[in-house]
Structure 1
Amino acid sequence: MADDPFENMLAQMDRAKEYADVDDGVFERLKHPERTLKVTLPVELDSGEVKVFEGYRCQFDSARGPFKGGVRYHPTVSQREVEALAGWMTWKTALVDLPYGGAKGGIICEPKELTQNDLESLTRRYTEGIRRMIGPETDVPAPDMNTNPQTMAWIMDTFSMYEGHSVPQVVTGKPLELGGTPGRVEATGRGVSIVTERLFDYLDRDLSDATVAIQGFGNVGSNAAELLEEAGARIVATSDVSGAAYDPDGLDVGALTEHVNAGGLVEEYAAGNLRSTSEEREAVDGGVRWDDPELIGNDELLTLDVDVLIPAAVEGVITAENVGDVRASVIVEAANGPTTVAADEVLTERDVQVVPDILANAGGVIVSYLEWVQNAQEFSWPLETVNAELERRIGTAFDQTIEQYDEKDLPDLRTAAYTLALERTASAHEYRGLFP
């Protein structure tokens, strides 16, 4: 199936295999997750209704270290999706050279329909269901789609109650008060911004005043937008589930961020609900910004005539059906698996540079690793240290990917990234051997 994320990941692996120095037997092992647990989660909701949810935790590969990966709450969560995401986490941690394997978890639910108490009960029930799989040295969850530091606090507390003592390093992405690290919330968006700047340097292009469209204005998209705007880029479009806002002169990212953080929708912003007063509009010449965005569809955002397209929402949005209409010359994958293999082949033929997800959105897992290390040492670092280490690690991974791409004359950056990740993971397997 073209829309099966797991098949998409396997196809990406197969594309890279002919260039990677990996034994056939080891490669076959790399295509299969080590284990996937399905849990049934009965929860009594605030409404008095008892509802049964389904959740998953997939542990894909542990050759390089403990499993690492987020937990997402979304109606479309499935076993295949979780297994694909766990695989992508495996390649991501290998590419940025962290001592981890890949994992992923998820619960099939619509968080918007649940109260805060409902979410807490569901999270604690899920933690009880997977607690025998997780732990600081075995599997370390983190936030993902529709989960956040509060979710991690509930997981940590539930796990700690069973252990009989506080275990902050069982999860990352925690609140600062519970051992979280500064910079973790912004980390994925910061990584997206860093690799975009690096790519423009590599292409000898000027990011200043480049036009950028970002599909998705959640944590990742909004932070990437703010940082790219600081770097001089012009954010001309962004979106959420309600629709997309487009302004060729550039959106007011700060105002939009404030609106969304307060619970607002992009649709409301695009409809003009946040526009300046008439007095401010008349004072444009005096330096007052007047934002006049247009409401467009999410699909239309993907096909805008921009320099950079950043899919930062869900997987499988750039497909064989719409890739012919994509006009961006650079795509930076802030989401996991946003481009299908069929679309990839078209983009490669057209010389569209795609920074793959396993590199572009690795900022989150890098800073999660830094948080985990700080917890193990019972020592905390200032934000400047965290951000500098994030930039160093993701910059090194970018440079190594470009070196692989140039020296081996590979077809695209995704293939370059995968060859590195597959070779590193396969090497660990070869050293460890096959038990028993």
Structure 2
Amino acid sequence: MTVEELAPPVSAPDRAAPGALAHRAALSQLRDATGILGLDEGMYRLLATPRRSLTVSVPLRRENGRVEVYSGYRVQHNLTRGPGKGGVRFHPDSDIDEVTALAMWMTWKCALLGLPYGGAKGGIAIDPRGLTLSEKERLTRRYTQEILPFIGPDKDIPAPDVNTDESTMAWMMDTYSVNAGYSVHGATTGKPLTVGGSNGRAGATSRGVVLAALDAMRHSHLDPTGRTIAVQGFGKVGAGAARFFADEGCRVVAVSDISGGCYRAAGLDIPELEAWVAGGESLASYPNADAITNRELLGLDVDVLVPAAMDGVLTADNAGDVRARMIVEGANGPTSPEADAILQSNGVTVVPDILANAGGVVVSYLEWVQNLQAFSWTSAEVDRKLCVFMQNASRSVWALAGEKSLTLRRAAHVIGVGQVAEAHEARGLFP
């Protein structure tokens, strides 16, 4: 059975929908990994099929009294290695296909990092920029109520993602706790420190991106000092990554977001740029750099390109324009399989998403462990543990890639998929 046959059918006008493309990419990567591992068709189908997919109606009463209804999703792709783990995003393009792909990638990511989790993901198809704070809270609480029977510290633990943050997780944790009758801090991760959050969680994904990039530079015999960096996506992950790169002595020459970007060959002042954006200004209007488009940023002649926004930004249409020596995927699924093939043929090293952006789920795991033990670690202790997880996973991926002459993406998926398949074999099939 082909990837196309297993993937859910879509009508012709929807065939290019981002979610469908992401799902097909995830299935293609899984098919490739199971082929290398020599797994049979039954195991492929078991790993390709989500354990549970939930679509819910999320009604919201707006401030003017009007009721609007949105679609919400939660997919638990695999629970064989532990409870589900994955973010919740609020984005107008979210659909069941996208959430399924993201949940699948989370499964391999957790297995690759050695975390005792399966993969899950959630989302609401909405643009939250038009919501007031109280509307966003009501939306979050209603969504949580709808998926409540399927989540919890031993079942499925949500975390922040695109357009959600620590406040979102606090609301979800509180909604769960109200229904339980007592505080359950481990019901979510990525929370504020005052309600069970972890030191070091806010910048963990960004920190992991930079750790993965630095390790890739070492393997490529590149001194990080002065290396040029371009970051596509200047949100939570991208802005933090730019700051950490600058701290490591790299030269961040370009950043962009949905409105456009800016470029300065001598390097950007990242704290100044963050303050500029926080004041409501656009990156393109930043006075101390030249305005560029997102497409121009992807084609810059830099040492490292970091796609840190949404999935599907590097495609067959623009992969040939990439002149970076290395791509470090801060976003989930930013590179299509067709783009991957082009980048490989052009000699571009790609550090895959399930390794590069795993810092967030690592520190989410550390937060969950602290919640279960009613204990806390300092920021320095959390960072040390994060470094160990990232270094061990990176070492394994680079070693397998060298041993089997695989790309880093194929090596990472072989390790992650292999771990999950081994767990299935060990547990057996009930009944």
In structure 1, what is the equivalent of residue 3 of structure 2?
Answer: none
Q: Distance in 2 between matches of 1:400 and 1:263?
A: 43
1:197 alignment partner, one of 214, 219, 234: 214
Give the counterpart letter for 1:376 in structure 2. Answer: L
Cα deviation per residue 1:206-263 (whole Å; 9 max; x = unaligned)?
1111111000011101111111111111101101111111111111111011222344
1:413 aligns with 2:408: yes
Gaps of 5+ in 1: 273-291
Give the counterpart letter for 2:258 in structure 1. Answer: V
1:147 aligns with 2:164: yes
In structure 2, what is the equivalent of residue 367 of structure 1?
Answer: 363
Q: How does 1:328-339 map to 2 (within 5 A)?
A: 328-339=324-335
In the TM superposition, structure 1's runs of 4+ consecutive aligned residues that sit over 4 Å from their partners are none
Are the counterparts in 2 of residues 20 and 420 from structure 1 also a CA contact under 8 Å? no
Could you tell me how far 1:21 is from its partner in structure 2?
A: 4.5
2:421 alignment partner, one of 415, 418, 426: 426
Give the counterpart letter for 1:87 in structure 2. Answer: M
1:86 aligns with 2:103: yes
Q: Tell me, what secondary structure is at the counterpart of 2:37? A: coil
1:41 alignment partner, one of 45, 58, 71: 58
Are the counterparts in 2 of residues 21 and 423 from structure 1 also a CA contact under 8 Å? no
In structure 1, what is the equivalent of residue 12 of structure 2?
Answer: none
1:138 aligns with 2:158: no
Please, what TM-score do these two structures have when normalized by structure 2?
0.94
Cα deviation per residue 1:264-292 (whole Å; 9 max; x = unaligned)?
331332xx2xxxxxxxxxxxxxxxxxxx3
Are the counterparts in 2 of residues 247 and 294 from structure 1 also a CA contact under 8 Å? yes
Q: How does 1:160-309 map to 2 (within 5 A)?
A: 160-269=177-286, 272=287, 292-309=288-305
Give the counterpart letter for 1:374 in structure 2. Answer: Q
1:12 aligns with 2:51: no
Please, what TM-score do these two structures have when normalized by structure 1?
0.93
Q: Distance in 1 between matches of 2:285 and 2:156?
A: 40
Are the counterparts in 2 of residues 63 and 101 from structure 1 also a CA contact under 8 Å? yes
Q: Distance in 2 between matches of 1:369 and 1:302?
A: 33
Give the counterpart letter for 1:371 in structure 2. Answer: E
Give the counterpart letter for 1:235 in structure 2. Answer: V
Are the counterparts in 2 of residues 26 and 430 from structure 1 also a CA contact under 8 Å? no
1:379 alignment partner, one of 366, 375, 394: 375
Are the counterparts in 2 of residues 87 and 102 from structure 1 also a CA contact under 8 Å? yes
Gaps of 5+ in 2: 1-14
Q: How many residues align?
A: 414
Could you tell me how far 1:115 is from its partner in structure 2?
A: 0.3
Give the counterpart letter for 1:120 in structure 2. Answer: E
Q: Distance in 2 between matches of 1:23 and 1:261?
A: 52
